[in-house]
Structure 1
Amino acid sequence: MPGLTSIQVMFLREHNRIAFILGKLNPLWNDEDIYSETRKIVIGQLQHITYAYWLPYIVGPDRVLQYGLIPLKHGYANVYDDEIDPTIANEFAVAPFRFAHTLLQDTVPFLTDKAALTFRSEDMFNKPTLAFSKEGRGVSYVGLGLSQAPLSKADEKVVTAVRDNLFKDMDGRSLDLISLNIQRSRDHGVPGYNAWRKFCGLPYAFHFGTGPGGLVDHYPENAKKLQVVYRHPDDIDLFPGGLSETPMPGGVVGPLFSCIIAQQFSNLKRGDRFYYENGFKDTGFFPAQLDSIKTTSLPRLMCTHFHLNQLQVDPFRLPSAE
Structure 2
Amino acid sequence: MDTLTPESTTSSRFSQIVAPFCAAKNVTCDPYEKYRSYDGKCNNLGNPLWGSALTAQPRFISATYGDRYNSGSEPRKNSVRYGSLPNPRDISNTVHKEGTTFARGCLSNVAFTHFGQFIDHDVVSTPIKKSKKGDIRHTEVPMLNAIHTLFLREHNRIVGILKKINPHHDGLRLYNEARKILIGVYQHIIYKEFIPKLLGTTLAHPFVASAVRNHLFETKPGNGFDLSALNIQRGRDHGLPSYNKFRKFCGLQPALTFGYNAIGLRDMSYESAGALQRMYRHPDDIDLFSGGLSETPVQGGLVGPTFGCLIALQFEYYRNGDRFFYENAFSKTGFTSVLFH
Same fold flag (TM > 0.5): yes
Q: Which has the higher contact order (CA 8 A, sep 6+)?
A: 1
**2:321 corresponds to which letter in structure 1?**
G
Label 1:172 to 1:212 Cα distance change in 2 as closer, same or farther (>3 A): closer
Verify the 8 A CA contact 1:60 1:251 in the aligned structure 2.
Answer: yes
Give 2:241's aligned residue. Answer: 191
Task: Give the alignment of 1:116-131 within 5 angstroms.
Answer: none
Deviation at 1:25, TM superposition (A): 2.2
After alignment, is 10-19 or 197-206 more displaced? 10-19
1:167 shift after superposition: 5.5
Cα distance in 2, alignment partners of residues 249 and 101 from structure 1: 17
1:49 positional shift: 1.4
Residue ranges of structure 1 left out of the alignment (5+ in a row): 65-96, 103-151, 292-322
What residue is the counterpart of 1:132 in the other structure?
Answer: none
Give the TM-score normalised by structure 1: 0.59
Shift of 1:174: 4.2
Equivalent position of 1:283 in the other structure: 333
AA matched with 1:163: N
The structure-2 alpha-carbon separation of the partners of 1:27 and 1:264, relative to structure 1 and needing over 3 Å to count, comes to same
Any idea what SS the aligned residue of 2:207 has?
helix
Matches for 1:32-181 after TM superposition, within 5 Å: 32-64=172-204, 97=205, 100-102=206-208, 152=209, 157-159=210-212, 162-164=213-215, 166=217, 168=219, 173-181=223-231
Q: Distance in 1 between matches of 2:263 and 2:325?
A: 40
Letter in 2 for 1:101: F
In structure 1, give the amino acid aligned to 2:207. H
Output the CA distance in 2 between the equivalents of 1:14 and 1:52. Answer: 19
Q: How many Å apart are 1:168 and its aligned residue?
A: 4.7
| Deviation (angstroms), 1:8 | 2.1
1:18 is aligned to 158
Q: Count residues with an aligned counterpart.
A: 201
Q: Which residue of structure 2 aligns with residue 264 of structure 1?
A: 314
Structure 2: give runs of 5+ residues left out of the alignment.
Answer: 1-140
Cα offset, 1:46, TM superposition: 1.1
**Which residue of structure 1 lines up, in the alignment, with residue 13 of structure 2?**
none
Q: Runs of 4 or more off by more than 6 Å in structure 1?
A: none
- Cα-to-partner distance string for 1:233-276 (whole Å, 9 max, x where unaligned): 10000001000101001111000011001111111121111110
2:129 alignment partner in structure 1: none
- The 3-state SS of whatever aligns with 1:209 is coil
Q: String of CA shifts for 1:199-225, please: whole Å, max 9, x gaps.
A: 000001011011121000010100000
Q: Distance in 1 between matches of 2:316 and 2:269?
A: 29
